[in-house]
Amino acid sequence: MRALPEVWRCRDLTFRVSERTHVVGILNVTPDSFSDGGRYANLDAAVSRAAEMAAGGADIIDVGGESTRPGAQPVAEAEELQRVIPVIEALVREVSVPISVDTTKAAVAEAALEAGAVIVNDVTALRGDRHMVEVVAKSKAGLVLMHMLGEPRTMQKEPRYGDVVAEVSASLLAWAKGAEASGVEHERIVIDPGIGFGKTLEHNLLLLRNLASLTALGYPVLVGPSRKSFIHAALGLPIGERLEATAGAVAWSVAQGAHLVRVHDVTEMVRVVRMTEAIRDAGASFEDEFEPPPGRDKVIIRGLRVFGYHGVHPHEQERGQDFVIDLEAHLDLRPAGRGDDLDETLDYSDLSRRVSAIVASERFNLIEALAERLAAEVLADPRVARTVVRVAKPAALAGRNVDAVLVEIERER
């Protein structure tokens, strides 16, 4: 099972993301941002706004010089540099909060880091500029990898997914592993599902509903629902009236384990975060979190057959083969038995869907690694205390008088 993240390292700073949810304040220094475009394009106004966010409890201030709203046009590198670098230099001097730069351009990121920023927030997840990963790796900056389908000009033109949760999770995991392979250390990476970036209302709601699938990947998770258009789609609210709905999405994200939230209204959202944490953690202790539930109750899925591309041999990765999955999830089923309520038990249909998506869309050399990934998915449900996962390759030793090759692992919370 992937280890739960404890820290996020950003140059010489360490954010202890396992201890509390961190709040990232948004500072757009653009004339065309969807929410507050033009309000902070002036240097003095930007510094004043950053000081307000710092006073309101922001842990990080994210400075952006290029709008990524749906339909936004790209900004020239020189123009983006002119917008963000003076602001970052001023904030480093005058505001005692770590600075992030929201950019897709390696040259802008490099200049921002030289000016004192410690984080690069890249909405293209390093896909927009092939030099970006080198800049981040060399500087040891923190890195936010966000999921976006397409690019801002076209991302909201009928976005489609087979399984949005599985596909976003698989993409983020692949991009994070790619960054690590290029020299970015694991503890410097945060992943972001990209709420509002190439997703319909249903896609966004499903991602929020299933944040546990992302937190199970082993990286800190940042969620940015602030004032987004999915709120309008759900409630019909204009931008200026989305504070309470944003608070609802932030509270849900925190309750589901988000490590960071990115927001416009810092003072209000810091209060939402702290209150949600207080409720979530009330009465909790080490024993409460990690002691298995009483009894020997379990939900079992047997013989789940899925076609996937796992194996050390090239033909296995190219042609694929069937895998057979058995799962046991150990949890207290008494509430479900007493109340006859699906919400009180593990939805085996949903779990089967998520497991099938992982087997079909992700790739591993070893079935041991696939089993670890599936165990992490099962344990993402906080009610599950223990899981047993079996992964079989029926065709592994075909013709050798062997029914199947399989591995079995047991993991506990």
The pLDDT of residue 324:
94
Task: Count structural domains, the chain.
Answer: 2
Residue 407 has pLDDT above 60, yes or no: yes
Confidence of residue 308 (pLDDT cuts 50, 70, 90): very high
Q: Which of 260, 280, 300 is the last residue of a domain?
A: 280
Residue 3 has pLDDT above 90, yes or no: no
Tens of pLDDT, residues 68-101: 776 667 899 999 999 999 999 999 999 999 999 9
The CATH code of the domain that includes 402 is: 3.30.1130.10
8 Å CB contact between 13 and 44: no
Tens of pLDDT, residues 104-159: 999 999 999 999 999 999 999 999 999 999 999 999 999 999 999 877 777 777 78
3-state SS of the chain is CCCCCCCEEECCEEECCCCCCEEEEEEECCCCCCCCCCCCCCHHHHHHHHHHHHHCCCCEEEEECCCCCCCCCCCCHHHHHHHHHHHHHHHHHHCCCCEEEECCCHHHHHHHHHHCCCEEEECCCCCCCCCHHHHHHHHCCEEEEECCCCCCCCCCCCCCCCCHHHHHHHHHHHHHHHHHHCCCCHHHEEEECCCCCCCCHHHHHHHHHCHHHHHCCCCCEEECCCCCHHHHHHHCCCHHHCHHHHHHHHHHHHHCCCCEEEECCHHHHHHHHHHHHHHHCCCCCHHHHHCCCCCCCEEEEEEEEEEECCCCCHHHHHHCEEEEEEEEEECCCHHHHHHCCHHHCCCHHHHHHHHHHHHHHCCCCCHHHHHHHHHHHHHCCCCCCEEEEEEEECCCCCCCCCCCEEEEEEEEC
Chain-centre distance for alpha carbon 37: 26
| Same domain, yes or no: 61 and 207 | yes
Phi, then psi, of 226 in degrees rounded to 5: -60, 120
Strand partners, 100: 62, 119
| Residue 359 identity (one-letter amino acid) | V
8 Å CB contact between 98 and 180: no
The pLDDT of residue 33:
59
| Same domain, yes or no: 266 and 305 | no
| Same domain, yes or no: 251 and 133 | yes
The pLDDT of residue 287:
41
Q: Which of 261, 280, 299 is the last residue of a domain?
A: 280
| Same domain, yes or no: 266 and 294 | no
Residue 3 lies in a domain: no
Least confident segment among 173-182, 195-204, 285-294, 298-307: 285-294
Cite the active site residues. 228, 262
| Residue 243 identity (one-letter amino acid) | L
How far is 195 from 263, CA to CA, in rounded Å?
Answer: 12
The pLDDT of residue 127:
95
| Residue 129 identity (one-letter amino acid) | D
Residue 285 lies in a domain: no
Tens of pLDDT, residues 374-388: 999 998 888 888 999
Tens of pLDDT, residues 219-248: 999 999 999 999 999 999 999 999 999 999
The pLDDT of residue 283:
76
Residue 291 has pLDDT above 50, yes or no: no
Which of the residue ranges 111-115, 348-352, 392-396 has the most confident prediction, judged by mean pLDDT? 111-115
The pLDDT of residue 398:
55
| Same domain, yes or no: 190 and 165 | yes
Confidence of residue 325 (pLDDT cuts 50, 70, 90): very high
| Same domain, yes or no: 249 and 380 | no
Tens of pLDDT, residues 10-19: 999 999 999 9
Residue 1 lies in a domain: no
| Same domain, yes or no: 318 and 342 | yes
Residue 195 lies in a domain: yes
How far is 156 from 159, CA to CA, in rounded Å?
Answer: 6
Residue 171 lies in a domain: yes
The pLDDT of residue 73:
78
| Nearest residue to 21 (alpha-carbon basis) of 12, 10, 8, 9 | 8
Least confident segment among 63-67, 176-180, 341-345, 398-402: 398-402
Q: 170: domain range?
A: 8-280
How far is 112 from 102, CA to CA, in rounded Å?
Answer: 10
The pLDDT of residue 358:
96
The CATH code of the domain that includes 30 is: 3.20.20.20
Residue 2 lies in a domain: no
| Same domain, yes or no: 345 and 220 | no
Chain-centre distance for alpha carbon 130: 22
Confidence of residue 288 (pLDDT cuts 50, 70, 90): very low
Residue 2 has pLDDT above 70, yes or no: no
Residue 44 lies in a domain: yes
| Same domain, yes or no: 74 and 118 | yes
Write out the two tokens for 203: 């896609």
| Same domain, yes or no: 276 and 311 | no
Q: How far apart are the first and last CA of the chain?
A: 10
How far is 73 from 67, CA to CA, in rounded Å?
Answer: 8
Tens of pLDDT, residues 34-51: 556 567 878 999 999 999
For the chain, give the percent of residues with pLDDT over 90. 73
Longest pairwise C-alpha distance within the chain: 77
| Same domain, yes or no: 259 and 334 | no
Q: Whole-number mean pLDDT of the chain? A: 90
Q: Which of 238, 261, 280 is the last residue of a domain?
A: 280
Tens of pLDDT, residues 256-279: 999 999 999 999 999 999 999 999
pLDDT higher at 296 or 359? 359
Pairing of strands 13-15, 8-10: antiparallel
Residue 156 lies in a domain: yes
| Same domain, yes or no: 302 and 380 | yes
